[in-house]
Amino acid sequence: MGTKGDESNQLILGQLKILFERFHKKQIRKTELEKNLISYARKTGFINNTYRKQAWNLLINTSDDEQYTQDQQQLKSHQYYEQTRLDVIRTLKRFPPNYSEAERSGLQDELIVIINQILVKHRELHYYQGYHDICLTFLLVLGNELCVPILDSITMSHLKYFMEPTMEKTRDSLNYLMPLINCIHSKCAEYMERGGVGHVIFALPWFITWYSHVLDELDVILRLYDLFIVSDYLMPIYVAAEIVNYYGDEILSQDCDMATLHQYLSCLPTEIDTKVWETIIERASHLIDRHPPETLESLASEWKIKCKHIEKSSPQSYLPQRANQLKTNSAKNLVKPSNVLSRVMFWSVALAVGGLAIYLYNQSSAIDLNTFLNLGDIYR
C-alpha cells in the first residue's frame, strides 16, 4: 500500500480492531459482525493479513467434520497430480520476495498436496491451470491447516463452474463481459468487437484466477479477493467491465486490430494503481447492483443483435464514420438511413416512439425512468 493511503488504512484497521473486540466480548452477535465484515470486504478490503485471516475464516462457511486424505499414494495417483505438480513448481513470481528459497519450496510442496486433497474429495471436479494461483493465494493468507476447508468451500461456491468436464460454462460466463461493456461504454464494446477481441480471451485469466495470474502486487490481489469472496462468482467479470470502461478512451486510441487490442488489454490490470483499483471496485459493485447476474441474459441478447449489425457493416464504411462521428453516440450508428424513403420512415418511427413515450409518461407517474434510461450510456 502506498503512503498516501496509510492514514485511512490506519483508521480502517482501528475500526476492524474494535469490531473484533466487541465480538470477542460478546457485545455484538456473529451475524452483525459478518454484516459489517461484508461491508468492509466490498468498500475497503481488510488491509492486513491479521484481520483478513480472521475475516475470511468467518465469512466463508466451512463444516468441521470434513476429511481430507493424507495418503500420499492416493494423492499421487490422482489424474491431475502431475499437471498440478508441474504448474506449482514453476509458480515463482507469485511468492512474496521476503520468502526464502526453502520456505518457498516448502509452500510449493504443501500447495501440491492441498490442490490434490480437494480434487480427491471432489472427484467430479477437473483441475484447470490457474486454479493453482487461487489456491496459493489462500495458502499465503491462511496457512496450511485453515486453508483446506476454506478453499474447499470457496471452490464449491465460486470455482466449480470452471472445473466442469468442459469449459463451456466458463466460456459462456466470460461471454457476459461484452454485453456489460456495451452497457457502460457502448462505443468501446463496438470498437473491441470490430477489432476481433470480442471473444474476450484476454480476460480469461482475470476471471478464472481472480486476477492473481496477471497481477504482480500481492496487496492488490488480496484486496480483490476480499471483494470476490463476498460476491457472486461473476464479480470478476463486472470488475473486468469496469476496467475496460475506465480505460475506454485509451482503448479507443489503440489500433483497431486483434493483436494490438489483445496485447493492450491483457496487460491493462498491471498498470492500475491502488487508488484506481478502489474506483473500479466501487463502480463494479454498483454495476452488479444495477445489472445483477440474473439479468445478464437479456443484456447478452441486446449485444447479439448489435453484433449482427457490426458484422454487416464493412470496415470501409466504418472508418470514415469513426473519423466523422468520433464524439457521437454509437447507438446512432445502428440506424443508417440509406435513402430519402428510409429517412422519412426513420423520422416517422422516431416521432411515433417519442409520442408514445410522452403518452405513457402522462398516463402513469409510476413508470420507472430507469427502464427508459438503461438504453444508453448513462452510467458514465
Partner 1 sequence: MTESIAPPDTGVFTDQERPKRIFKIIVIGDSHVGKTCLTYRFCSGKFPEKSEATIGVDFREKTLDIDGEIFKLQIWDTAGQERFRRSMINHYYRNVHAIVYVYDVTNLASFENLPGWINECDKHVLDQDLPRVLVGNKCDVSNEQIVVPNSVAQRFADAHNIPLFETSAKADEHQDHVNSIFMLLAHKLKHSKPLMSQPKLYAHRDISVSSPTTANEPGYCSC
Query: Given the rule CB under 8 A, which residues bind partner 1?
Result: 83, 86-87, 90-93, 126, 128-130, 132, 166-168, 170-171, 194-196, 199, 201-202, 204-205, 208-209, 213, 253, 255-259, 262-263, 266, 314-316, 318-320, 322-323
Q: How many residues does the chain have?
A: 380
Residue closer to partner 1 (CB basis): 220 or 230: 220
**Shortest distance in whole angstroms from residue 253 CB to partner 1:** 8
**CB of residue 73 to partner 1, shortest distance in Å:** 22
Q: Which is nearer to partner 1, 171 or 343 (CB)?
A: 171
As given in the structure block, the three cell numbers for residue 255 are 489500433
The conformation of residue 157, written as its DSSP 8-state character, comes to I
Question: In the bound complex, what is the minimum distance in angstroms from residue 242's beta carbon to partner 1?
Answer: 20
CA 268 to chain centre: 14
Q: How far is the CB of 232 from partner 1 (least distance, A)?
A: 21
Q: How far apart are CA 176 and CA 163, in angstroms?
A: 19
Show the CA angle centred on residue 249, arms to residues 244 and 253, nearest 5°: 110
Per the CB < 8 A criterion, the answer to whether 181 and 241 are in contact is: yes
Cβ–Cβ < 8 Å for 55, 46: yes
Q: Which is nearest to 68 in space by CA: 3, 122, 125? A: 122
Q: 63 or 253: whose CB is closer to partner 1?
A: 253
Distance between CA atoms of 152 and 62, rounded to whole angstroms?
8
- 302 membership: H or E segment, kind and range: helix 296-312
Cell numbers describing residue 337: 438511413
Helix (H) or strand (E) holding 125: none
Give the shortest CB-126-to-partner 1 separation in angstroms: 7
Q: Rounded to the nearest whole angstrom, what is the least distance from the CB of residue 270 to partner 1 in the complex?
A: 14
Using the minimum distance from each CB to partner 1, give the nearer residue, 52 or 132.
Answer: 132
In the bound complex, what is the minimum distance in angstroms from residue 332's beta carbon to partner 1? 18
Q: What is the DSSP letter of 254?
A: S
Among residues 41 and 203, whose Cβ is nearest to partner 1? 203
The residue (of 253 and 338) whose beta carbon lies closer to partner 1 is 253
Complex with partner 1: residue 2 or 196, whichever CB lies closer: 196
Q: How far apart are CA 127 and CA 240, in angstroms?
A: 23
The secondary structure of 173-201 as a DSSP string is HHTTHHHHHHHH-HHHHHHHHHTT-TT-G
Give the shortest CB-158-to-partner 1 separation in angstroms: 17
Nearer to partner 1, 166 or 370 (CB): 166
Helix (H) or strand (E) holding 236: helix 235-246
Rounded to whole angstroms, how far apart are CA atoms 284 and 301? 21
